[in-house]
Amino acid sequence: MKPKLIVFASGTKTGGGSGFEVLVKSVEVGDLDAEIVAVVSNHEHGSVRERADRLGVPFIHFPGPWSAENYREIVRQSGTEWVALSGWLKLVSGLDPRRTFNIHPGPVPEFGGKGMHGHHVHEAVMQAFHDGRIRESAISMHFVTEEYDKGPVFFRCPIRILDTDTPDTLGARVNEAEHRWQPYITDLVVHGKIGWNGTDLQSLWTPEDYSFKPRTQ
């Protein structure tokens, strides 16, 4: 049987959820060997809901409170084995850190933490670039603990910053790279080729031929 996966994607009332849609379409073409059992959003009638209805994926409205008990109940009722955060902006608690993972539009932990999401990440990265502290951004994927962006990072794809970049142009290239890599890396995770023991950051394992850091985009 295919691994069961639930996606948490906040989106907004007018946008967002593109990563969730990419995962669904990757399942359809066979690039992601999994069953997406549902998508969760804190917006009842936002873009994530529209995409879910159009794609035929069950939608779960999760308005809060975002307690460990409520997270666990959603996972239990869905029957899922894996939890993917794809633009989910709320702190997660109560879930198995071995089976919960996130994609982040910047280098973590350097540009992670509370409030560091979406455009805020790209603005901070561009400021660091202009200050001469960094030369590239990244997309990062990591397991999820009960602190924002503190779980072990198992994938990082560098994104070169151009002198002409703005937060918007950088964000567009980061988003393109997220869509390119997220299904492939997600497939490795849900099939146990990437993992950790849930407590020790040094316990992380990856395939022997796995490139943690692909060439700069």
Map out the domains of the chain with their CATH numbers: 4-203 (3.40.50.170)
- Residues 91-113: what's their mean pLDDT? 96
- Residues 158-185: what's their mean pLDDT? 97
Distance CA 62, CA 69 (A): 12
Output the CA torsion sign for 205, 144, 38, 16. Answer: negative
Q: What per-residue confidence (pLDDT) applies to 14?
A: 87
Contacts with 89 (C-beta within 8 Å, 6 or more apart), sequence order: 10, 42, 117
Distance CA 209, CA 163 (A): 34
Q: What are the pLDDT digits (tens) for 45-71?
A: 999 999 999 999 999 999 999 999 999
- Residues 182-197: what's their mean pLDDT? 97
